[in-house]
Chain A
Amino acid sequence: MSQWPSPPPYNLVGKHGVSPSFKHDDIARFNFLAQLNTHLAATVVPANARAYELRVKPQFESEHGREPQDRHEVRRAMLRDPLFQTWSALRRSSMELRQQNGREVILRQLVALNEKAAVLNRDAPQLKLDPSVEVPAYIRKVDFHCMPGGYTTELMADDISPAANYDIGIFATTAGGLGCFNDGGGLAIAEWLKSRYPDFKPERILDLGCGPGHSITALAKALPDTEIVTIDVAVPMLRFAHARAKSMGVNNITFMQANAEHIPLPDASFDIVMTTIFLHETSNIAIRKIMAETYRLLKLGGVSFHLEQPQYAGLPPFEQFMRDWDALYNNEPFWTRMHELDMNDLMVDAGFDRAKIFQDKAYGVLDEKIFGKPKETGVEDFGRKAAWHLFGVTK
């Protein structure tokens, strides 16, 4: 059992070479938000199901003579319910506060912070930027998680602000659910690989959509003899992720600017091709091209996998509706359609053998001394919990 409260204080968030400096009140703001999100998840979220069963569904049935058929009908009915309205307004407010708090910390010291990153990135052979890469519309047009400017906007030269802001706020959004370095997902993959393929020693791994690099840096640390290439279209993310990894002594990752729909790397050149919580930020056409690239780049005998939340098929309409909250109200628009797709069909269409497809679960790995055992802190939060579905296939 941990001596720390749940969520733990923000002071325990890990520091690295491109961490900003924090004042007392910056930390207190994130402490408040972590507590607010914990409170909402534990006390208000569960009441939505009760409101649905006791008043929204009966009202719908009396109006239509049948149950709601899908999550869209559930949503249209729930949007009129005062409890759902209250929870949603509070949650949206919490996301906006989180963005403002994070941006306050980063933007007021941006010149110095960008300089820190620039020093780590200068002439670095493992940071490969390519100005000819165009940012696709599904990244350019969406300010994910209500982050103004999204992943790609640069406010000044050498800017890392979108990534630096992303990095410092995850703790508040997830109430510490991804660990001190926000790398519970990467550690989950490392554990999963070790247990599923104990004798597999991948020489080369390709990771698509690294973002700030939390997951891939943790995996690279766990596999120090593996050469890792990770790509992203967003330059601020790549600058930040490279500088952060380097400052943490992780040197086996090349951070490359490239579009995952057409990756300038040779066929059959990786033992693993993977994505972590990335596919839902693409588009219906892009995801098919990305799957085709995954197949092309994977060696025979290699394994490909994608860490995401579970697909909607088979889930009750109410649960699908709750899982759609971030899609519609926290700027994750493809999330809703992506979770309708049949991942197996996508992999088969890309060239994989249906018989070699598998699905699995992966759970966030956290420092038990701080976070306690996972079950002590587990609250169902419909998509924000550190537990994922793994869609995999071998070639």
Chain B
Amino acid sequence: MTASTAFDWIPLTGAKPQGKRPYFFDDPAVERVLAITMALAQELAVTRERLDTVERLIERAGEHGGKFSRADIDAYAPSPSEACERAEWQRMYLARVLRIVQQEIEALNKPEANVDIAATADELGKN
């Protein structure tokens, strides 16, 4: 805690709201790991967005022969086309992180394409 901080605000950011927290998975440990994984997934997305910002500022700084500062990173605002590129990256990122969820939904939607491979092996062995 720094001298200028009136109170320790960091633990307050993650404080538990009133009411018992719902756990959805049969084993609460799975829920715990998922919550931690999603926090990390968020932080990696943030780091990648920051890297993207820095790369774009390097390009701009190069054009003007100048430098840029951390304040420039905080002040960065994407143009519509830059925002579209960044949103596209995010879409791919989420598709990657949540791939297993996509595959479980596809299994649900197309049961005919979700046959046990051992059953297919048996079938191919016979025919």
Which residues does A use to contact B, with CB under 8 Å?
Answer: 3-9, 11, 22-25, 28-29, 31-33, 35-36, 39, 43-44, 47, 50-51, 54-55, 79, 82-86, 88-90, 92-94, 96-97, 99-100, 103-104, 107-108, 110-111, 141-143, 146-150, 155-156, 328-329, 331, 333
For B21, what are the chain A residues with a Cβ–Cβ distance below 8 Å? Answer: 92
Q: How far is the CA of A53 from the CA of B24 in the complex (A)?
A: 20
Residue contact A329 to B86, C-beta cutoff 8 Å: no
User: Contacts A28-B50, A86-B101, A96-B35 given; 16 further ones with Cβ under 8 A?
Assistant: A3-B80, A4-B83, A5-B88, A9-B83, A24-B49, A32-B41, A32-B46, A44-B105, A47-B105, A83-B105, A86-B104, A90-B101, A107-B12, A141-B18, A143-B19, A149-B17
For B78, what are the chain A residues with a Cβ–Cβ distance below 8 Å? Answer: 9, 11
For A9, what are the chain B residues with a Cβ–Cβ distance below 8 Å? Answer: 77-78, 83, 86-87
Contact for B90 among A32, A44, A155, CB less than 8 A: A32
The reply on B65 being an interface residue by CB < 8 A is no
Q: How many residues of B contact A (CB 8 A)?
A: 54
Cβ of B92 to closest chain A Cβ, rounded Å? 11
Residue contact B49 to A85, C-beta cutoff 8 Å: no
Q: How far is the CA of A43 from the CA of B45 in the complex (A)?
A: 20
Residue contact B13 to A104, C-beta cutoff 8 Å: yes
For A110, what are the chain B residues with a Cβ–Cβ distance below 8 Å? Answer: 6, 9
Cβ of B127 to closest chain A Cβ, rounded Å? 29
Within 8 A of A (CB), among B12-55: 12-19, 21-26, 30-31, 34-35, 38-39, 41-42, 45-46, 49-50, 53
Q: Interface SS of chain A: helix, strand, loop or mixed?
A: helix
Residue contact B38 to A90, C-beta cutoff 8 Å: yes
Residue contact A28 to B80, C-beta cutoff 8 Å: no
The reply on B68 being an interface residue by CB < 8 A is no
Q: Knowing A5-B87, A47-B105, A156-B7 are in contact, say whether A100-B13 is a contact too (CB < 8 A).
A: yes
Within 8 A of A (CB), among B90-106: 90-91, 94-95, 98, 101-102, 104-105
Residue contact B19 to A88, C-beta cutoff 8 Å: no
The 4 closest A-B CB pairs, nearest first, are: A143-B17, A5-B87, A3-B80, A148-B15
Residue contact A35 to B91, C-beta cutoff 8 Å: yes
Q: Knowing A29-B46, A35-B87, A141-B18 are in contact, say whether A43-B24 is a contact too (CB < 8 A).
A: no
Q: How far is the CA of A3 from the CA of B38 in the complex (A)?
A: 30
Residue contact B105 to A4, C-beta cutoff 8 Å: no
Nearest residue, chain A, Cβ from B30: A89
Residue contact B108 to A47, C-beta cutoff 8 Å: yes
For A35, what are the chain B residues with a Cβ–Cβ distance below 8 Å? Answer: 87, 90-91, 94
